Chains A and B, each alone.
Chain A
Amino acid sequence: MTKHILLIDDERDIREVAEVALSVVGGWQVSTAASGREGIAKAIANPPDAILLDVMMPDMDGFATLQALRSQAATRSIPVILLTAKVQSADQHRFELWAVAAVLVKPFKAMQLAEQIAAILQWPTAS
């Protein structure tokens, strides 16, 4: 069964690149959202197998989004992988608190992104 992954990032170009990487390389079904709010709506409407979440976003950032996802029964147990360009010690602490599946750093290796995620979530690799 094809895995369904939801990508939330405010940066359009990154969304595009990541979508290609996950769908083409990973062979997964990919949905995208440009903001936390949109992502939550989509996750509730069509719960994905995993969520790839950008941290630094205007208005509702990654942590706020994560909090919202955890507060909803429908989305509570969906594994979340954070995606961030901002890796600072203070944030590291917050990541731990939120018990996310993993934190991936930007810029990522697009060709290996799907493989990394599959390893994290112990999904069988597409190939």
Chain B
Amino acid sequence: MTTADALQQAILDSANYSIISTTATGIITTFNATAASWLGYSPEEVIDQITPAVFHDAAEMQQRSRQLAAELGTEIEPGFGVFVAKAKRGEPDERDWTYIRKDGSRFPVRLSVTAVCDRQGQIVGFLGIGRDISDRIQAMQQAQTARAEAETMRNRLTNSLESITDAFFALDQQWCFTYVNAQAETLLQKQRQEILGQNIWDVFAEAVGSAFYQQYHLAVERQISVQFEAFYPPLAAWYVVHAYPSQEGLSVYFQDITARKQIEATLQHHTQALETFSTNLKHLHRINTTNYRVFEDLLADCLTTGCAILKMPTGIISQVVGQTYTVRAVQSDLDFLSPGLEFVLAETYCATVVSQKRTITYSHVGAEAEMQAHPVYQNLHLEAYLGAPIFVNDAVYGTLNFSSTQIREVAFAPHEQEFIELMAQSIGRFIAADQASQAQQRDTTALRRQHRRSQLFAELALKIRQSLRLETILQTTVTEVQQFLHADRVLIFQLRLNQSGGTVVQEAVVSDWPIILGQEIADPCFATDFLEQYRQGRVGQMADIEAGNIAPCYVEMLRPFGVRANLVVPILQNQTLWGLLIAHQCSQPRQWSEFETDLLKQLADQVGIALAQSQLVEALRESEARFRTLADSAPVLLWMSGTDRLYSFFNQGWLDFTGRSLSQELGSGWVAGVHQDDLEFCLNSYQQAFETRQPFQIEYRLRRFDAQYRWVLNTGVPRFTPEGQFEGYIGSCIDISDRREIERLKDEFVSVVSHELRTPLTSISGALDLLAGGVLSAQPQQAQRLLNIAAANAERLIRLINDILDIERIESGRSLMQKQTCNAAQLITTALDLTQNIADQAQVTLVNIPLDIAIEADPDRLVQVLTNLLSNAIKFSPQGGTVWIEATLLSIPSTPALLHPCTPSLSYSPTLQITVRDQGRGIPPSKLETIFGRFQQVDASDSREKGGTGLGLAICRSIVQHHEGQIWAESEPDQGSTFYVTLPVLQPRSQPLESEPGGPLVLVCDDDTSVLAVMQAKLQHQGYQVQTAASGAEAIALATAHPPDVLLLNLMMPEMNGWETLTALKENKTTRRIPVIILSGLHPKAGQTLDPDISDWIVKPPDERRLLQALEQALGQVNQCGRILIVEDDLNLAQVLMAVFKRWGVETYHVQTGTEAIQLSQQIRPDLVILDLVLPESNGFAVVDWLRQHNRLCHVPLVIYTSADLDSTIRERLQLEQTLFLTKGRITPEEFEQKVINLLIRVARDKEETSHD
């Protein structure tokens, strides 16, 4: 080292600075002793080290780096560069750094860095000289601390003044500011410096005289603290001030309460709004709770309230439908606004309300440019408007709006809007409720109407359907409908079958209008499709026929009836248009309500049903009547029972038979008539049949009216409805007693006959068998005896067989009586001769009391009768007894009492009576009649003992009856018996019927002579004269010689048959007109009308009644006897009767009432009157009374033909000279016909005789 260097080192080391030099890049080159002592590093330790890395703080270097960057504008790495940056630029750089000692402790240095340049001015290194500044910093820090403490003290005071929230200032006694805190600065908007030392009244000149001025002065003068609030306009602020006087002057604390005041004001404002709102709500509540008389009152109240609250003159509740705005309710000073007024929605302020569904307000429409063109503004200059939507059921119903032509200075308050919205809500709810109530009311009304209709319909239907009679139904319908509708006329119009027109069949019309009942109306309009429409159930109605829209033909038709309005409903019967039910209003036009139309339609339906039903009822009634007539006229006993097994019907025949009344027989009453022994069987059978529903037949005994039990055959068949439902039984009983009796008799007869025949046969065959067997060859006597037995029995057998055949022949009519005039005495003598022998054998005396009288008789047969009676008498007479035979003439007319009860009628003709009396054992009374039966001997053994066949008396009776006589026996036991025979006496002149010269001549032509004989007898008996011809040729000859009144002609004849004979007769002028009746075994060809030349055709064997009828008709007797007047109100019956009598060629007249009968009988003088008793107008009795008074008609034959059974008193009342009482239903039509015709013929004959006389 050089001295310089040493010096340098010494200098360096002696300096109280740290000196550190580096290379240009920062490598330490010099590190002086001070540096080493301060930093604790030896120079060796740090030379050649990079300085910053050794004892500089990295954070400090970074901070310096940022500073330099900001200062120099270039980035310098936080390293060595930051120490030399300035030095490099030739600028001095001295600043405080922190050195870090080797031990890590730190101390501040003031470091000055200088660049070391070479001669060329190139920086070759840097020199840093540092001074330890720890002491200075410490002192500075102490001073700072003391200052800080003073500061702290001051700050504490200031802070206490500053930190108080109140503003504060202090004034001295000259009103100058001595202190102003920060808060006060802010509030007073003045800087402290500006006002400190300044007079307050200078600074705030505006405050002079203000509350502040007065209060401050008050506080100072009175030395009292004051407190007040005041507004300071220049600052637009409110303050609350507390001022305290002091020695120095006045301390003032204050706060800005503007915000509070504002809140208070707002609060007050709100409170007011709330109060208003509350008041308004009360109105709303009132509205909501008031019970308005009508809904419109509610709306009016809303509007009134709203207008008052909003202070707007116009209030409207509108209804908006589509684009139409309709004023529903209004309160306004604008006269033209009224409910119902309509606007186009778009042209109202409410359009926005509706479209946006919210409240809209305008307080000054004129101020809004876009609104000035609005039609409302243009037309009405409405400046202010508040509108709220009314929601009904969530949809906009309309609006509630208020408006005024006055500009509204203050905007609508929220509470006003709110109130209106609430009101709109209320209205909405009210409208909804109103709508619901209206709907309900509508429903209720509809329901009530429906109910009323049902009720009316039920009433009317009941009235209409009360009757089953169609006429009554229709009558009731028109009457009731007319009353119900208050129509001027109600009618039922029945269409003709071809529906070209019809008739008014019922009508109810008020007296002022023409009656059209019964009118035939042929409506030209019917030709059109009118009817088709009615057929389909259409209702026709016209409110006013003069209205002009009606077819002219229709108007023409209706006008004459005075019709102004009409209602026409179709009456359909089983889908067929039957007619129309029509209501007319004549006085004025009339709108028919749906209710009326419906009701009428329903009633027409009822009428239709009634029609169908009445048809059924009619058919039923007819069928019922037919059934009853049939049942009652049936000759059988009919009954009917229901499902309950009880009998519900008996015909007249049944009641007549049992002699009991219907009420006695009904149910199970009939059982009383069943014979005790048959009852169980009868009921069981019936029960069994009922269970199986099978037809049944039961035979049992049923008590007849005369208490006699008769066997009946009860045949029952189950009844079923057409639907197959079991309904009970119907049955008939026939009296089979006679049949049973006949069967019994037949059985018995066969039994008896077989017995009777076998008995002799047994003897014969037994005897002959033994004889033939040769067992008796050794005993000739016994053999002879057997031969005798055989012979006798053979004879008996022959006799028996003869008798049986004889009686059969007589009774069947095959054995004809060969009648001739005989002397009764002679016949008796013959009989006596024949029986004398056996009388002698029996030692019986025969006494004859004869009478010489002529009779018409078959002598052989009569002798047979007498012989039989005599031999019987002899057989039963005791030995030595007497038998008397006596003939007497009964000249006095016989009475039934005198005659045998069997005598059929009064006999006025002289009669021969023959009696045979014996002294035998007599006949028990019970046998008196039966002995005349076959094999009915009193004692069965008689036939053997007395040698009779048991048929003798039966044969006698047959013979006598064939002589128109009677035979009977009288006896008292052990007193003998008397047999009587009566016979008509032959008196040619005194027998009117058989010998009448005027009787019509009948020619009978038949090849069978037996037929001729029978016919002759029959016809003569009926008073005809008879000629017979056995061939056609003979008939023609006889007819030509003596033309008969009528010819009975057989057809099947040999040689000339009937047809040939007829032709021949018809060709002959003389015989052409003779009526011919065919009497043949053949039947006329079915379906063929009789040959016009033939008057009638009778089939053999002829029915006598039929034959006589044919003869009478052929003879034309009837048509001479004129007129029958039939008085009968039953048209059907009358027609039948007229047809019947017309067949007889009788003129018939018919009237339906008694009055007509009286009138007509005066005109026509009837020959016979048939009179029903029950008649409209004068009844049958009146007619009879009248006839009786009449001098000629009192003789008229009368037939009372009525359905009632008449007792004798009534019959007496009705009796004219010749009166026949015939009961309808009791007599068959044929019987009726015959009886009336007979009466007519009798009358005709009488008339003829009278005229002959």
B754 at interface (Cβ–Cβ under 8 A)? Answer: yes
B1083 at interface (Cβ–Cβ under 8 A)? Answer: no
- Across the two chains, which residue of chain A brings its CB closest to B765? A107
Looking at the complex, which one of B762, B786, B940 makes contact with A106 (CB distance below 8 Å)?
A: B762
Among B765-792, those with CB < 8 Å from A are: 765-767, 769-770, 772-773, 775-776, 779, 782, 785-786, 789, 792
Looking at the complex, which one of A16, A85, A111 makes contact with B754 (CB distance below 8 Å)?
A: A85
Known: A20-B770, A20-B776, A108-B765. 7 other contacts (CB 8 A): A13-B763, A20-B782, A24-B775, A108-B762, A110-B765, A111-B770, A113-B766
Chain A: minimal CB distance from B645 (Å)? 35
B770 x A110 contact (CB < 8 A): yes
Q: Please list the residues of chain B having a beta carbon within 8 angstroms of any beta carbon in chain A.
A: 747, 751, 754-755, 758-767, 769-770, 772-773, 775-776, 779, 782, 785-786, 789, 792-793, 939-941, 944
A14 x B755 contact (CB < 8 A): no
Bound CA span A16–B785, Å: 9
Complex interface: chain B residues within 8 A of A86 (CB) = 751, 754-755
Given contacts A10-B941, A24-B776, A58-B941, whether A109 and B759 have CB atoms under 8 Å apart is no
Q: Render A100-126 as a binary contact track against B, CB cut-off 8 A, 1 for contact.
A: 000000111111010000000000000
B775 x A107 contact (CB < 8 A): no
Complex interface: chain B residues within 8 A of A1 (CB) = none
A24 x B941 contact (CB < 8 A): no
Complex interface: chain A residues within 8 A of B779 (CB) = 24
Given contacts A110-B765, A110-B769, whether A17 and B789 have CB atoms under 8 Å apart is yes
Looking at the complex, which one of A17, A24, A59, A88 makes contact with B763 (CB distance below 8 Å)?
A: A17
- Across the two chains, which residue of chain B brings its CB closest to A15? B763
**Looking at A12, A107, A108, which has the most chain B CB atoms within 10 Å of its CB?**
A107
A110 x B767 contact (CB < 8 A): yes
Bound CA span A59–B765, Å: 27
B770 x A24 contact (CB < 8 A): yes
21 contacts between A and B (CB under 8 A): A11-B763, A13-B793, A16-B763, A16-B785, A17-B786, A17-B789, A18-B766, A20-B775, A20-B776, A24-B776, A24-B779, A57-B941, A85-B754, A86-B754, A88-B747, A88-B751, A106-B758, A109-B769, A110-B766, A110-B769, A111-B769
Bound CA span A80–B401, Å: 139
Looking at the complex, which one of B759, B786, B939 makes contact with A20 (CB distance below 8 Å)?
A: B786
Chain A: minimal CB distance from B466 (Å)? 66
- Across the two chains, which residue of chain B brings its CB closest to A21? B770
Q: Render A71-92 as a binary contact track against B, CB cut-off 8 A, 1 for contact.
A: 0000000000000011010000
Complex interface: chain A residues within 8 A of B765 (CB) = 107-110
B941 x A25 contact (CB < 8 A): no
Looking at the complex, which one of B755, B786, B944 makes contact with A16 (CB distance below 8 Å)?
A: B786
Complex interface: chain A residues within 8 A of B762 (CB) = 11, 14, 17, 85, 106-108
Complex interface: chain B residues within 8 A of A108 (CB) = 762, 765-766
Complex interface: chain A residues within 8 A of B758 (CB) = 85, 106-107
B940 x A21 contact (CB < 8 A): no
Count A-B pairs with CB separation below 8 Å: 87
A56 x B769 contact (CB < 8 A): no
Complex interface: chain A residues within 8 A of B761 (CB) = 106-107
A58 x B766 contact (CB < 8 A): no
Complex interface: chain A residues within 8 A of B770 (CB) = 17, 20-21, 24-25, 110-111
Chain A: minimal CB distance from B678 (Å)? 20
Complex interface: chain A residues within 8 A of B763 (CB) = 11, 13-14, 16-17
Complex interface: chain A residues within 8 A of B772 (CB) = 111
Chain A: minimal CB distance from B690 (Å)? 32
Complex interface: chain A residues within 8 A of B782 (CB) = 20
- Across the two chains, which residue of chain A brings its CB closest to B772? A111
Bound CA span A59–B939, Å: 8
Complex interface: chain A residues within 8 A of B792 (CB) = 13
Looking at the complex, which one of A18, A106, A111 makes contact with B759 (CB distance below 8 Å)?
A: A106
Chain B: minimal CB distance from A95 (Å)? 15
Chain A: minimal CB distance from B158 (Å)? 166
B755 x A85 contact (CB < 8 A): yes
Complex interface: chain B residues within 8 A of A107 (CB) = 758, 761-762, 764-766
Bound CA span A59–B775, Å: 35
Among A1-32, those with CB < 8 Å from B are: 10-14, 16-18, 20-21, 24-25
Bound CA span A11–B761, Å: 12
Chain B: minimal CB distance from A66 (Å)? 18
- Across the two chains, which residue of chain B brings its CB closest to A11? B759
Bound CA span A11–B793, Å: 11
Looking at the complex, which one of B754, B776, B789 makes contact with A13 (CB distance below 8 Å)?
A: B789
Complex interface: chain B residues within 8 A of A18 (CB) = 766
**Looking at A13, A14, A59, which has the most chain B CB atoms within 10 Å of its CB?**
A13
- Across the two chains, which residue of chain A brings its CB closest to B779? A24
Bound CA span A109–B775, Å: 14
Bound CA span A107–B789, Å: 14
Complex interface: chain A residues within 8 A of B941 (CB) = 10, 57-59
A17 x B766 contact (CB < 8 A): yes
Bound CA span A84–B758, Å: 9
Given contacts A17-B767, A107-B762, A107-B765, whether A58 and B789 have CB atoms under 8 Å apart is no
Bound CA span A17–B779, Å: 14
Bound CA span A12–B1213, Å: 71
A58 x B939 contact (CB < 8 A): yes
Complex interface: chain B residues within 8 A of A16 (CB) = 763, 785-786, 789
Looking at the complex, which one of B755, B766, B776 makes contact with A56 (CB distance below 8 Å)?
A: B755
Bound CA span A24–B773, Å: 11
Chain A: minimal CB distance from B259 (Å)? 146
Bound CA span A65–B773, Å: 32
**Looking at A57, A111, A113, which has the most chain B CB atoms within 10 Å of its CB?**
A111
Bound CA span A65–B123, Å: 201
Complex interface: chain B residues within 8 A of A106 (CB) = 758-759, 761-762
B759 x A25 contact (CB < 8 A): no
Bound CA span A18–B767, Å: 9
Complex interface: chain A residues within 8 A of B785 (CB) = 16
A14 x B766 contact (CB < 8 A): yes
Chain A: minimal CB distance from B568 (Å)? 82
A25 x B773 contact (CB < 8 A): yes
Bound CA span A108–B767, Å: 10
Bound CA span A88–B758, Å: 14
- Across the two chains, which residue of chain B brings its CB closest to A34? B941
Bound CA span A17–B790, Å: 10
Given contacts A10-B941, A11-B944, A111-B775, whether A21 and B766 have CB atoms under 8 Å apart is yes
A111 x B751 contact (CB < 8 A): no
Chain A: minimal CB distance from B622 (Å)? 52
Bound CA span A16–B782, Å: 10
Chain A: minimal CB distance from B1146 (Å)? 58
Given contacts A16-B785, A16-B786, A56-B755, whether A110 and B773 have CB atoms under 8 Å apart is yes
Chain B: minimal CB distance from A98 (Å)? 19
